[in-house]
Amino acid sequence: MKAEVGDSLVVESNKVDAAPRQGEIVEVRGEDGGPPYAVKWSDGHEGLVYPGADAHVVPAQH
């Protein structure tokens, strides 16, 4: 997985009726765009994330 600052990280829910979690990548701490990522989630919380198989990156619109 590779990302840049400004891209979105989407984590799919494992619950049928739950919406995916989405946030903006504000810092890339890994090499060559790899994790971990500092993410500001849509609910305002921020955290350091090592994305799993249920996550994907959506490139920012430049």
Report how far apart, in Å, the C-alpha atoms of 54 and of each of 1, 10, 15, 38, 62 are.
12, 8, 12, 17, 25
55 near 8, Cβ under 8 Å? no
pLDDT at 4: 97
pLDDT at 16: 84
pLDDT at 62: 64
pLDDT at 58: 97
Q: What are the pLDDT tens digits along the chain (62 aa)? A: 999 999 999 999 888 888 899 999 999 999 999 999 999 999 999 999 999 999 999 999 86
Distance CA 11, CA 37 (A): 13
pLDDT at 35: 98
Q: Where are the alpha helices (DSSP H) in 1-62?
A: none
